[in-house]
Structure 1
Amino acid sequence: MTHSRLGPIGQLSRSVADIAAAEAWWRDVLGLPHLYTFGQLAFFDCDGVRLMLSAEPGESHSNIIYFRVPDIAASHAELSARGVAFLGAPHMIHRHADGTEEWMAFFSDNEGRPLALMSQVQPG
């Protein structure tokens, strides 16, 4: 019996109500590199993982996309300066046995759906 191994995530998909507004927000406010737009689909690069936004008016999926960042405080400050309204300050959500801390900060996209920053902070 052969076991196949899944590789890293290649693409995430998220439905949006207005592709033009979403494209502008993800590109200009979050600063994600825009790859291309084709019809009602817009594609962005998230450090090697492709994000596909698809215009599906009336659709509302409650998924959360977590963006890994090296310095959550700096990313929080930069995005706040660009107009992102965070639901709260970055905060620790878990401490691993080796002392590594998992930190997150939650915010919403231009359609009010959840997104998050996440970062691991090493002890010391």
Structure 2
Amino acid sequence: MEFRLGGIGQVARHVSDIGRAVDWYGGVLGLPHLYTYGDLAFFDCGGTRLFLSRREDGAAPGEQSIIYFRVPDIHAAHERLTARGVTFEGAPHMIFRHADGVEEWMAFFTDPDGGLLAVMAQTPAG
């Protein structure tokens, strides 16, 4: 049998303050908080775990990967998150149209440490 990797199990991100991150990722974004252990916090992102760890004092934040959250309706997600205090870099916009007409839409925002995040949705051909 051929070896294949499974789905992504966990994504890690550094934050400056675990308490503030737990409040923001759980309260503002609405991610289910799994548990916090010292300077580590874990959230469920539809079966993929988000692992937040406190950055060492004085350490440069460094470049981090963008986390893209799938949503069924990007305009509704944009509106709801904006109402919760999230500041987007711009309105949701189409990134790409596939040959079958399906459109890829995204809108970008940052967490309290300036880490880039996005909501993304596919809009069926109409």
Q: TM-score, normalized by length of structure 2?
A: 0.94
Matching residue's letter, 1:110: P
Alignment match of 1:106 (pick from 83, 94, 108): 108
Deviation at 1:122, TM superposition (A): 0.3
Give the percent of matched residue pairs that are identical in Structure 1 and Structure 2.
61
Deviation at 1:62, TM superposition (A): 2.7
Matching residue's letter, 1:14: R
Number of equivalenced pairs: 123
Deviation at 1:48, TM superposition (A): 0.7
> Could you say which residue in structure 1 is the equivalent of 2:41?
42
Deviation at 1:61, TM superposition (A): 2.8
Q: TM-score, normalized by length of structure 1?
A: 0.95
> Could you say which residue in structure 2 is the equivalent of 1:12?
11
For structure 2, the 5+ residue unaligned runs are none
> Could you say which residue in structure 1 is the equivalent of 2:27?
28
RMSD across aligned positions (CA): 1.0
Q: Indicate conservation of the 8 Å contact 1:92/1:103, yes or no.
A: yes
Alignment match of 1:78 (pick from 53, 77, 80): 80
For structure 1, the 5+ residue unaligned runs are none
> Could you say which residue in structure 1 is the equivalent of 2:51?
52
**In 2, Cα distance between equivalents of 1:90 and 1:56:** 31
Q: Indicate conservation of the 8 Å contact 1:15/1:60, yes or no.
A: no
Moved runs in structure 1, 4+ residues, more than 3 A? none
Deviation at 1:22, TM superposition (A): 0.8
